[in-house]
Amino acid sequence: MTGTPSETIAPRRSHGSGWRLLILIPTLWLVVLFLVPCLIVLKISLSQTAIAQPPYVPVLDPAAGWAGLRAFAAALSFDNYRMLGSDWIYLTSYLRSLAIASLSTTFLLLIGYPIAYGIARMPTRLRPILVMAVFLPFLTAFLIRIYAWINILQRDGLLNDVLLALRIIHEPVVWLSTDTAIVIGIVYSYLPFMVLPLYASLEKMDESLLEAAADLGAPRWRAFWLITVPLSMPGVLAGILLCFIPIVGEFVIPELLGGSGSLMIGQTLWTEFFQNKDWPVASAVAIALLAILLVPILIYQHLQMRTLEKS
């Protein structure tokens, strides 16, 4: 009856040598395949473009010794980042990517939540089948599915045919090469990544909580709003991040479905790298993008830590 603190304290693991070895493998993996490449890209972003092999200077020459290292460090500069900040091409590209990612993620949430909720409320034996059904289209190659969308969205494509037949429109609408097409393509492609974390959090919710809410006088819609929605927030956050972050850097979908007028940041990066052969600027674009995306990731981490501390 008196205030004893929580009984549920997780048992502590002993940190033996086996444990260290186990953690070494993923650490090595991350260092070799993530941290080192990141540092290389960071270094290139501080270099200047050159007609050479590799196409930038300075290049560190270990044979030149201490003096060579000093000359190398002196030649690095933030010029590329200054350029990113001053040229409207890059700024609009970033903003456009963020805008399209926000819009797409909003639609993903609005479409994904009812799907996940519906599956979670189905009889237990049907749920795995329905989750599989969400993933089923993804057994086909990604490019083929995007090309199929080109077919659907083009002037004499399926979408216009249907809308004309239903007399919703009287003239064929231009879908392809518009932002609408990009958003449709993104929402279609990323849907499973929104549905799955939402489903995971909705599925484990205790049915008796909704009964308790009803018992205490809350009609269904209020119980949904007061109980289901708050309890599914971890899934909502995970879904948003899982979609938003890769969408910002999306290249293939805007390239194939979008217009040539304005570019998303992934396309800008591609242009710098392969058309202008400007590795340093392309690297700066990538590093800046990473910095932008780090913000939501850090917020998410912070929230996760808070929920972990609570339980």
Partner 1 sequence: MGNAPAASGSDPASVPLVRFEAVGKRFGGFVAVDRLSLDIFEREFFALLGPSGCGKTTLLRMLAGFERPSEGRILLDGQDVSDVPPHRRPVNMMFQSYALFPHLTVAANIAFGLRQEALPRSEIEARVRDMLALVKLDGFDARKPDQLSGGQRQRVALARALAKRPRVLLLDEPLSALDRKLREDTRLELKELQQKLGLTFVIVTHDQEEAMTLANRIGVMNGGRLAQVATPPDIYERPNSRWVAGFIGDVNLIEGTAVSSGLGQTIVESRAGDRVLVTHPPGASYSGPVTVAVRPEKIQIDTAAGISKTENSFAGHVIQVEYLGGLLAYRIMLDNGQEMKVTLANHAPLRAGSMAASGDRVWLSFAPEAATVLQQ
Q: How far apart are CA 197 and CA 134, in angstroms?
A: 13
Between 36-45 and 279-310, two packed helices, what is the crossing angle to 10 degrees?
A: 130
**Residue 122 beta carbon to partner 1: minimum distance, rounded to whole angstroms:** 18
Interaction of residue 213 with partner 1, rule CB under 8 A: yes
Interaction of residue 222 with partner 1, rule CB under 8 A: yes
Interaction of residue 200 with partner 1, rule CB under 8 A: no
Interaction of residue 4 with partner 1, rule CB under 8 A: yes
Interaction of residue 124 with partner 1, rule CB under 8 A: no
Interaction of residue 310 with partner 1, rule CB under 8 A: yes
Q: Segment contacting partner 1 (CB under 8 A): 35-43, 146-154, 211-219, 297-305?
A: 211-219
CA atoms within 13 A on the CB side of 178: 10
CA angle, 41 then 182 then 93, to 5°:
40
Interaction of residue 211 with partner 1, rule CB under 8 A: yes
Interaction of residue 64 with partner 1, rule CB under 8 A: no
Nearest CA-CA partner of 245 in 259, 266, 260, 263: 266
First CA to last CA across the chain, in angstroms?
A: 21
Smaller CB separation from partner 1, 5 or 16 = 5
**Residue 6 beta carbon to partner 1: minimum distance, rounded to whole angstroms:** 5
Q: Segment contacting partner 1 (CB under 8 A): 143-151, 155-163, 201-209, 242-250?
A: 201-209
Using CB under 8 A, pick the residue from 11, 162, 231, 250 that binds partner 1.
Answer: 231
Q: How far apart are CA 219 and CA 226, in angstroms?
A: 11
Phi, psi dihedral angles at 121 (to 5 degrees): -90, -5
Smaller CB separation from partner 1, 52 or 216 = 216
Smaller CB separation from partner 1, 62 or 219 = 219
Using CB under 8 A, pick the residue from 65, 217, 295, 306 that binds partner 1.
Answer: 217
Smaller CB separation from partner 1, 276 or 304 = 304
CA distances in angstroms from 102 to 167, 241, 248, listed in the order given: 32, 11, 9
Q: Segment contacting partner 1 (CB under 8 A): 82-90, 149-157, 225-233, 244-252?
A: 225-233
**Residue 216 beta carbon to partner 1: minimum distance, rounded to whole angstroms:** 3
210 token code pair? 């909704």
Smaller CB separation from partner 1, 1 or 67 = 1
**Residue 2 beta carbon to partner 1: minimum distance, rounded to whole angstroms:** 9
Q: How far apart are CA 80 and CA 48, in angstroms?
A: 8
Q: Total residues at the site for partner 1 (CB under 8 A)?
A: 26
Smaller CB separation from partner 1, 11 or 219 = 219
Reduced to 3 states, what is the DSSP secondary structure of residue 155?
Answer: coil
Q: How far apart are CA 104 and CA 188, in angstroms?
A: 10
Helices (H), the chain: 17-30, 36-45, 65-75, 79-86, 88-120, 127-135, 142-153, 158-165, 179-203, 207-215, 220-223, 229-231, 233-248, 252-257, 265-270, 279-310
Using CB under 8 A, pick the residue from 133, 162, 209, 291 that binds partner 1.
Answer: 209
Phi, psi dihedral angles at 57 (to 5 degrees): -130, 155
Using CB under 8 A, pick the residue from 206, 225, 276, 299 that binds partner 1.
Answer: 206
Interaction of residue 25 with partner 1, rule CB under 8 A: no
Binding residues for partner 1, per CB under 8 A? 1, 3-8, 206, 208-209, 211-219, 222, 226-227, 230-231, 310-311
